[in-house]
Chain A
């Protein structure tokens, strides 16, 4: 449990750089009255350590600070909870009524499944159906990427809904694009950590499904409003490679289909254009400056 706590804390330090900044005298307070949060004590014993530690490190307070520059058109409640059926899965979700549900099941999965190295016979290669930690990846990357990724994805849904952002494409892929885009604004190191980690999470889910389906992809998977897990992994990596081909060259060479790499720059530019036109106008410039002064978020990335 200690590991997930430290990883989550690290994730927030990475993703919410303002929390470690020394506030300058002229800087605005990173607070937004439209954002509330709640820690809901879990019913299930296995989730209690997660609840206690995430509360201790002030996960939601920090997330609220991270979101504070947004001029939201409606209230947003951040809830860390065990939840009901929608939290099983594992899952986290935005309920289209102003509440972002971060489920303990997701963090439990990160800690106990996706980031765990599964022992294989020495001569058995890691394949598409191999579970857990990928070779060359670290447990902390998966914990960080999986934490930051799910928060930003669900935040994307919240933005689409609360800000009434126009949607031509599939919303789930759009939420992934918002998550990837933000992950990539904190410099190469943070980008590498979070993108690798989230890629590993989707590889793990894909492996689980392939095993259950005897190596096949069934039409019902293709009917889902989400892309297939491995497609989501490719989409994240493609955005990263499109933004920073140098930093992600090795990863893209190993994991991304060759033909796809050609379109990654355009895919990143598409998302950056959408962000600039639909999200950035509702970001408080003064509060944004407080973030930008940390030299992690760079304004030129959105121009």
Chain B
């Protein structure tokens, strides 16, 4: 447990702090309030300690500095994976969700390097399709995706953004869109890692939940639907970079985005239909028209110009 937490904290710090720290604009310090809320359950205390030690929220504060409206971000014990967002309320990252991410990290059962000079991060590898996933990727990806998802809900609320489609799907789309804005390397590491996490999570819970009315009737899409939604945006933007999730020259598996969905995600022409925008392009256009003008452009340039994850 300690090892995983350490990796998580380090990965989060790497993800959120990066190698070059951006000086946060003054207004960000005032607008973005951060709180590390102590958990009641001692199980989560190590997670809090590491997050605090690595200044994850402080770094997030800088990452969110382009936002012009007041926002509180806190880590807390929620009693569930998520704290339902309340209008005007804080962005809450639950220790339970971080714990979930850690619980399905690539383990020692998978491919493992026997070379003693291999760095720790490469000793334990998971797999999704043909891709090998490091623990760093499996931690950083879903953690950052989750933070962006929860923040997107707050942005939708604070700016009264018109959202068509289910809100949590929109937040997932927005998170995936944002992860694609920091260069190819960041995009692939975080989205591969998130895909690994969602795929594994679905495998773990699928048998017991997939026909449960509470699961299907939830405000959120199923985990597997979220997995495909993530791929939809990623392939919509970069079909070559994410071609590992397209069954070309082989039989399709549940890992792959099916051809019919790809056509929609890419905005390709279908029988009887004209070509239209990819889902990625729809989100991009919505982001530009509804959110961009509400961001501090100077701060945004600094955030975009920062190397958040090392090579």
Contact = CB atoms under 8 A, between A and B. Distances in A.
Interface stretch (A5-13, A173-181, A290-298): A173-181
B23 interface: no
Contacts of A124: none
Interface in A168-225: 168-174, 177-178, 215-217, 219-220, 222-225
Contacts of B119: none
A230 interface: yes
B218 A259 contact: yes
Contacts of B169: 169-170, 173
Nearest to A94: B273
Interface string A71-114: 00000000000011110000001011100010000000000000
B53 interface: no
Contacts of A85: 271-272
A231 B216 contact: yes
B39 interface: no
A288 to B, nearest CB: 19
Contacts of A39: none
Contacts of A228: 216, 222
Interface residues of B, number: 50
A169 B166 contact: yes
A270 interface: yes
A271 B167 CA distance: 10
A273 B158 CA distance: 13
Contacts of B61: none
A166 B260 CA distance: 23
Nearest to B174: A168
Contacts of B290: 166, 168
A235 B168 CA distance: 13
B273 A267 contact: no
Interface string A29-65: 0000000000000000000000000000000000000
Q: Name the residue in A85, A128, A178, A260 with the highest tally of chain B Cβ atoms < 10 Å from its Cβ.
A: A260
Interface in B236-284: 254, 257-258, 260-261, 264, 270-276, 279, 282-283
A278 interface: yes
Nearest to B213: A257
Given A166-B162, A167-B282, A234-B217, A97 B273 contact: yes
Interface in B109-167: 156, 160-167
B219 A167 contact: no
Nearest to B283: A168
B214 to A, nearest CB: 5
Given A169-B163, A273-B162, A83 B272 contact: yes
A278 B162 contact: yes
A163 B60 CA distance: 37
B218 A169 contact: no
B43 to A, nearest CB: 25
A262 B261 CA distance: 31
Contact of B216 (A215, A220, A230): A230
B220 to A, nearest CB: 10
Q: Name the residue in B84, B165, B272 with the highest tally of chain A Cβ atoms < 10 Å from its Cβ.
A: B165
Nearest to A263: B219
Given A166-B286, A260-B218, A171 B165 contact: yes
A219 B254 contact: yes
16 contacts: A93-B272, A95-B272, A95-B274, A96-B276, A160-B164, A166-B285, A168-B161, A168-B170, A168-B282, A170-B173, A216-B211, A228-B222, A230-B216, A231-B217, A259-B218, A270-B163
Interface of B: 84, 87, 156, 160-167, 169-170, 173-174, 210-211, 213-214, 216-219, 221-222, 224-225, 228-229, 254, 257-258, 260-261, 264, 270-276, 279, 282-283, 285-287, 289-290
The 9 closest A-B pairs by CB, nearest first: A169-B165, A174-B164, A257-B217, A169-B170, A166-B286, A97-B274, A274-B162, A219-B254, A168-B170
